[in-house]
């Protein structure tokens, strides 16, 4: 009963533009020189490590960046090269927005409901509108095209467009949606796959209507209304949906998505004590929904502060169920280097009652420096064996394709990218050549605007 993880392949323009207010790593590394080749290789190595543990693993390709249609919509005209050059001269911050490789964090691509929980037995995806951050709000149309190419069979998969970000008159809608990063599916056993029924913990940052509490410093990206709409669209039985509000104080301390402060898998939940507004009720709800099977580890502020959770991304680890049984925690090396965090992990995995039996630390430093840990880099898709067999095969992990992707990265990616390099028209050509070849490696056909 596989739960597949689809990792975002880091795009050739990976850079540090400081675009995400409220994401401490993003803003504090603004202007730093990035290493796109290392970033992509670190991502491929993570996917390979998971695949070699026997986890069903896939890839989602990056989007075209810089995204010339975005710049044209903002008024820049001329050939594609002239558009980029003019944007670089007149509005470098707009070029940076159109150049971000942020689609690598596929936990924000969509919210996924497996057939066991959806109304019609198909696997449902709602593309996230990502409207809180302008550089991410341009992702949804391509995300929908990509998901429809990877999960192509409409008899098995339903890919819904993003919820409307605005109303017809341009005012913001009630729907701020950041995808799976604010959704945790739990099951009564260790199995998180697509054949078992789950319960759905939807975590929101605020209510769009203004009711209830909200952060004062940083934006609450996910609205309750968006999560409700996703649950309704996917036909999830309301009695299997649980709702919790993220603590506004946590958002104000840099917890811009719920997956920065809690993570769950099967009957296991790891959560910081300051994650939710009404923490006791939220945990109680999950406990009741799982019929007492839940194993919850609540991390107190005295052991790991919210600030350290944000710095180390302890909670942004992946929890995976291994084919031989038991779970593993896949953490970033930043967590290993923090004595308090590594001690906590150590004592957790040595507790015989805990379903997590081992911890594996991986280097995803380039992504971490933009606020993306192991869990951000992947979209969980619980599938049945039959559904897995129906995924576009080139997007599923194999040793040969992994090697082909490593060669592809080495051939096409720059070692370094400084902020001023985004103005280089050659970067646009390099990116298109790279993505053109990538669609052949992954067997995806023409999914990008520049290919059509």
* CA 352/CA 372 separation, integer angstroms: 31
Residue 246 · residue 226 · CB < 8 Å: no
Residue 434 · residue 63 · CB < 8 Å: no
Query: Least distance (Å) from ligand SUG to the CB of residue 370?
Result: 4
Q: Which residue in the list 67, 183, 234, 257 is annotated as catalytic?
A: 257
CA neighbor of 260 nearest in space, from 218, 310, 215 = 310
CA neighbor of 450 nearest in space, from 240, 176, 203, 145 = 145
* CA 452/CA 432 separation, integer angstroms: 12
Interface with ligand SUG includes 315 (CB under 6 A)? no
Interface with ligand SUG includes 376 (CB under 6 A)? yes
Q: Which residue in the list 3, 178, 191, 225 is annotated as catalytic?
A: 178
Query: Least distance (Å) from ligand SUG to the CB of residue 360?
Result: 19
Q: Which residue in the list 376, 395, 402, 412 is annotated as catalytic?
A: 376
Q: How many residues bind ligand SUG (CB under 6 A)?
A: 24
Q: What is the 3-state secondary structure (H, E, C) of 164-197?
A: CCECCCCCECCCCCCHHHHEEEECCCCCCCCCCC
Query: Least distance (Å) from ligand SUG to the CB of residue 241?
Result: 21
* CA 51/CA 62 separation, integer angstroms: 20
In terms of C-beta density within 10 A (0-12 exposed, 13-18 middle, 19 or more buried), how is residue 100 classed?
buried
Dig out the tokens for 2 from the structure.
């596989």
Binding to ligand SUG, residues 230-269 (CB under 6 A): 256-257, 259-260
Interface with ligand SUG includes 276 (CB under 6 A)? no
- The answer to whether residue 90 is catalytic is no
Binding segment (CB under 6 A) for ligand SUG, from list 9-17, 190-198, 235-243, 297-305:
9-17
Interface with ligand SUG includes 37 (CB under 6 A)? no
Choice from 16, 125, 151, 413 touching ligand SUG (CB under 6 A): 16
* CA 386/CA 51 separation, integer angstroms: 19
Interface with ligand SUG includes 205 (CB under 6 A)? no
Alpha-carbon dihedral angle through residues 265, 226, 239, 233, given to the nearest 10 degrees:
-100
Choice from 108, 184, 223, 227 touching ligand SUG (CB under 6 A): 108
Per-residue contact string for residues 385-424; x = within reach of ligand SUG by CB under 6 A:
----------------------------------------
Choice from 181, 263, 331, 447 touching ligand SUG (CB under 6 A): 181
Q: Which is nearer to ligand SUG, 130 or 444 (CB)?
A: 130
Helices 425-441 and 399-412: crossing angle in degrees, nearest 10, is: 170
Q: Which is nearer to ligand SUG, 65 or 401 (CB)?
A: 65
Query: Least distance (Å) from ligand SUG to the CB of residue 135?
Result: 6
3-state secondary structure of 399: helix
- The answer to whether residue 395 is catalytic is no
- Residue corresponding to tokens 């919850």: 296
Choice from 107, 163, 206, 255 touching ligand SUG (CB under 6 A): 107
Interface with ligand SUG includes 17 (CB under 6 A)? yes
Binding segment (CB under 6 A) for ligand SUG, from list 159-167, 195-203, 347-355, 369-377:
369-377
Dig out the tokens for 114 from the structure.
């497996």
Q: What angle do CA 271, 281, 314 make, to 5 degrees?
A: 5
- The answer to whether residue 183 is catalytic is no
Q: Which residues bind ligand SUG (CB under 6 A)?
A: 15-20, 23, 26, 100, 102, 105, 107-108, 133, 136, 181, 256-257, 259-260, 370-372, 376
Catalytic residues: 178, 257, 376
């Amino acid at each position: 009963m596989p739960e597949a993880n689809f990792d975002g392949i880091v795009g050739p323009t990976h850079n540090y533009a400081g675009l995400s207010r409220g994401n401490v790593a993003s803003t504090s590394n603004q202007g730093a020189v990035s290493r796109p080749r290392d970033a992509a290789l670190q991502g491929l190595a993570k996917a390979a490590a998971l695949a070699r543990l026997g986890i069903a693993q896939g890839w989602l390709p990056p989007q075209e960046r810089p995204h010339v249609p975005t710049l044209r919509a903002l008024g820049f005209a001329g050939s594609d090269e002239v558009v980029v050059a003019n944007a670089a001269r007149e509005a470098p911050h707009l070029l940076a927005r159109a150049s971000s490789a942020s689609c690598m964090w596929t936990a924000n691509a969509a919210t996924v409901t497996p057939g066991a929980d959806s109304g019609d037995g198909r696997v449902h995806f709602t593309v996230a509108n990502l409207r809180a951050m302008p550089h991410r709000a341009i992702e949804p149309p391509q995300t929908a095209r990509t998901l429809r190419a990877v999960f192509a069979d409409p008899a098995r998969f339903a890919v819904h467009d993003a919820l409307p970000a605005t109303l017809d008159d341009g005012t913001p809608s009630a729907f701020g949606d950041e995808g799976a990063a604010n959704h945790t599916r739990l099951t009564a056993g260790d199995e998180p796959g697509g054949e078992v029924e789950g319960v759905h913990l939807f975590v929101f940052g605020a209510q769009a209507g203004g009711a209830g509490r909200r952060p004062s410093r940083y934006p609450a990206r996910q609205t309750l209304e968006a999560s409700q709409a996703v649950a309704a669209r996917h036909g999830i039985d309301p009695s299997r949906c649980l709702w919790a509000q993220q603590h506004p104080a946590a958002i104000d301390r840099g917890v811009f998505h719920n997956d920065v402060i809690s993570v769950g898998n099967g009957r296991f939940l790891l959560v910081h004590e300051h994650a939710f507004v009404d923490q006791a009720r939220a945990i109680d709800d999950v406990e009741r929904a799982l019929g007492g099977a839940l194993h919850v580890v609540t991390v107190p502020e005295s052991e790991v502060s919210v600030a350290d959770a944000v710095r180390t991304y302890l909670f942004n680890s992946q929890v995976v169920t291994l084919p031989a049984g038991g779970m593993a925690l896949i953490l970033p090396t930043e967590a290993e280097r923090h004595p308090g965090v590594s001690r906590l992990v150590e004592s957790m995995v040595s507790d015989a009652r805990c379903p997590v039996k081992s911890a594996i630390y991986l280097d995803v430093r380039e992504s971490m420096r933009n606020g993306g840990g192991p869990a951000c880099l992947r979209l969980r898709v619980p599938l049945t064996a039959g559904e897995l067999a129906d995924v576009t095969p080139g997007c599923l992990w194999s040793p040969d394709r992994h090697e082909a992707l490593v060669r592809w990265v080495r051939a096409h990616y720059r070692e370094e990218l400084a902020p001023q390099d985004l103005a280089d028209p050659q970067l646009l050509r390099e990116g298109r050549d790279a993505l053109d070849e990538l669609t052949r490696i992954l067997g995806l056909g023409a999914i990008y605007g520049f290919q059509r």
